[in-house]
Amino acid sequence: MSTILVVTEILEGDLRSVNDQVYTAAVQMGRATGQPVTALMLGGGDLDALAQAPGVYGVAKTVLVEDPKLARYSPDCYAAAIAQVARHQEAGVVLMGATMTGKDLLARVAQLLDTGLAQDCIGFRIDGGAIHFTRPMFAGKVLAEVQVTSRPVMATIRPKAYKAEEAPVSVEVERVQLDLPEPLAVVEDYQRGGASTLDVTEADIVVSGGRGMQGPEHWGLLEALAEALGEGATLGCSRPVSDDGWRPHEEHVGQTGKTVAPDLYIACGISGAIQHVAGMASSKYIVAINKDPEAPIFNVADYGIVGDLFDIVPALTEAVKKLKAGD
Ligand SMILES: Cc1cc2nc3c(=O)[nH]c(=O)nc-3n(C[C@H](O)[C@H](O)[C@H](O)COP(=O)(O)OP(=O)(O)OC[C@H]3O[C@@H](n4cnc5c(N)ncnc54)[C@H](O)[C@@H]3O)c2cc1C
């Protein structure tokens, strides 16, 4: 029987949180189609400590590929490895998180396997055994249904589109040796650019600033709000803010930046241009603070506050602190 293969993203030895969400999506798909789910982990060694992790989310098998050629991330060598495992495991479906790496890597794998890929999906439904993926298109203006008619079916799943659900099972671990090509390109080093430690795509709450912030010296206001909101909160920004060097590019949200879908997105001094909205419209709740009542951000906001952010953000921070302190 064909399997649903989930490619696990490992960054500097750590599992990224998006994996748990993709395991959950895969287990739901497996229940609907009757296919087992297999997690795939690639690396230079020491993967044993991670192998049981998919079991927490209901994935009963992990395939480990340990090879010195996979010690450092190489898009071409990793793609070759995934393609070989997909063939070896007779994968009917291959899934991965729609992170920067996931979108790049699975596109390469799809080319090697000569099959189709649905990128950045936010859901799926099964009809007559066929998987129909839902994906936002045209900067989030429409939701398209996509069916991959070649095999294996391949898709990347947008971070936060699925909530990770625990369903513990024991995990069978299989080790696979592959004949891999020499890597053409490897990542030598990772450097964290942002002051925030939590990546904007992984945060539950994003406090985001636009040009209305008037300069980098005012970001302390947003940092204080994010800190008051707690551990799951981080900072985001609009593109001109990162283009002007007020904030690092890692925080840039939108069509040409990162796509986020947190539980709460607080847009401060952001006008709501279509290119920005494309990156945050799937957020569960959107709060907009803007002094212009006609700002387009209010069209996508669940809650809007018309006023000067320099008054409102500190007041909001104090209110959150009081609420958290139980006053
Ligand atoms: C091809 C292309 C791709 C792009 N990709 C992206 C992208 O990925 N992400 C992105 O963000 N943009 C992107 N853009 C740019 C986009 O079109 C907008 O120019 C940009 O999003 C505007 O950023 P902003 O909202 O911070 O600034 P502005 O549009 O200048 O808006 C500032 C807002 O702050 C409000 N404001 C000012 N002072 C205050 C105050 N004291 N209190 C409260 N409110 C205040 C104003 O009323 C205004 O609405 C792209 C553009 C193009 C052409």
Q: Minimal CA–CA distance to 123: which of 21, 48, 203? A: 21
Pocket test for ligand 1, best of 250, 258, 265, 276 (most atoms within 8 A of CB): 276
Residue 193: predicted pLDDT: 60
Residue 174 Cα to ligand 1 midpoint, Å, equals: 50
Minimum CA distance residue for ligand 1 atom 26 = 210
- In the reported structure, the alpha carbon of residue 123 is separated from the centroid of ligand 1 by a whole-number distance in angstroms of 29
What is residue 264's predicted lDDT score, i.e. its pLDDT? 97
Closest CA to 19 of 36, 48, 46, 40: 40
Q: Average per-residue pLDDT in the chain?
A: 95
Average pLDDT over residues 15-30: 97
pLDDT band at 283 (very low <50, low <70, confident <90, very high): very high
At 285 the pLDDT is: 97
At 1, the pLDDT band (50, 70, 90 cuts) reads confident
The helix, strand and coil proportions of the chain, stated in percent and rounded to the nearest 5, come to 30, 25, 40
Largest CA distance in the chain: 63
Distance CA 288, CA 305 (A): 6
The stretch 44-55 carries a mean pLDDT of 96
Find the 81 Cα to ligand 1 centroid distance in Å.
Answer: 42
Q: Which atom of ligand 1 is nearest to the CA of 257?
A: 8
- How far, in Å, CA of 190 to CA of 209, rounded? 25
Q: Please check whether residue 186 is in contact with residue 72, taking contact to mean a CB–CB distance below 8 angstroms.
A: yes
What is the CA(273)–ligand 1 centre distance, in A?
6
pLDDT at position 25 is 98
How would residue 98 be classed by pLDDT, with cut points 50, 70 and 90?
very high
Sorting pLDDT into bands at 50, 70 and 90, what band is 326?
Answer: confident
Cα(130) to ligand 1 centroid in Å equals: 41
pLDDT exceeds cutoff 90 at 320: yes
Which residue has a Cα nearest atom 47 of ligand 1? 292
Q: 143 forms bridges with which residues in the sheet? A: 136
- Residue 79 in this model has a pLDDT that exceeds 90: yes
CA of 259 to the centre of ligand 1 (A): 16
Q: Half-sphere exposure of 185 toward its Cβ, with a 13 Å CA cutoff?
A: 5
- Residue 327's pLDDT band (boundaries 50, 70, 90)? low
Q: Does the predicted TM-score (pTM) go above 0.75?
A: yes
Q: What is the pairing mode between strands 264-268 and 285-290? A: parallel
Residue 281: which residues within 8 A CB-CB, separation 6 or more?
Answer: 136, 140, 300
Instruction: Identify which of 59, 151, 156, 49 has the alpha carbon closest to the alpha carbon of residue 100.
Output: 156
In the structure, which protein residues have their CB atom closer than 6 angstroms to any atom of ligand 1? 210-212, 238-241, 254-257, 269-271, 273, 275-276, 279, 289-292, 295, 308-310
Beta carbons of 46 and 24 less than 8 angstroms apart: no
pLDDT above 70 (res 170): yes
57: nearest Cα among 88, 97, 17, 92: 17
> For a pLDDT cut of 70, what percent of the chain falls above it?
98
